[in-house]
Amino acid sequence: MSVKNIAILFSGNGSNLEAILNKVHNKTFGNTTIKCTLCISNKPDAYGIIRAKKFELDTIIIENKNFKTREDFDKALVDEIQKYDIDLVVLAGFMRILTPVFTSQIKAINLHPSILPLFKGAHAIKESFQSEMMVGGVSVHMVSEELDGGKIIAQETFKREKNMSLEKWEEKTHSLEHEILPQSIINLLTE
């Protein structure tokens, strides 16, 4: 029996954090138990902090605004993560572009609300909805220096419905996110 430790980084609502904690934290898959050992947020008022507390997990706050450069912030993240025996870092709505200070030292995955390589960046849901694409979806990828450009490890899609609203598109996207991210963690840590 082995134990694999994950760190989850988030900036906001924390719905993906909660999906991971519900489906993965302290659960055993085959011969592997997965534990969330570390939660970090760059926002002291992120609702995800309250969600983590439901699982008796404290969140470490490292505010990017307290650092002069992206590299200084990333170094603080790396220093904190390296205090723990972390097997995988999961970015779950962590709204920061990470520099090589982070990406060269930390094995991490990110969830993105589009079918990459299409619609990179912060407005992916709206851009994919406004496109002529007949499908929407989500991607999980390895974190690299390039924004939303790391190796894709999982993707799921849904079909555009007739007269579909942006709200329904977002709902379908988030529903897929809550399935694909926990499953990707399981797949990566139990291979």
109 marked among binding-site residues: no
Q: Cα separation of 70 and 190, whole Å?
A: 33
DSSP 109-133: EEEESS-TTSS-STTHHHHHHHSS-
96 marked among binding-site residues: yes
For residue 34, the cross-strand partners are 4, 27
95 marked among binding-site residues: yes
β pairing state of 108-112 and 59-61: unpaired
Q: Cα separation of 33 and 19, whole Å?
A: 17
Cα dihedral sign for 180, 97, 14, 164? negative
31 marked among binding-site residues: no
Q: Helix-strand-coil percent breakdown of the chain, rounded to 5?
A: 35, 25, 40
Catalytic status, residue 178: no
98 marked among binding-site residues: yes
51 marked among binding-site residues: no
91 marked among binding-site residues: no
DSSP 155-185: EEEEEPPTT--HHHHHHHHHHHHHHHHHHHH
Q: How many CA atoms lie within 13 A of 64 on its CB side?
A: 17
Catalytic residue chosen out of the listed positions 112, 141, 174, 178 = 112
Binding residues for (6R)-10-formyltetrahydrofolate: 70, 95-98, 110
Catalytic residue IDs: 112
Binding residues: 14-16, 70, 95-98, 110
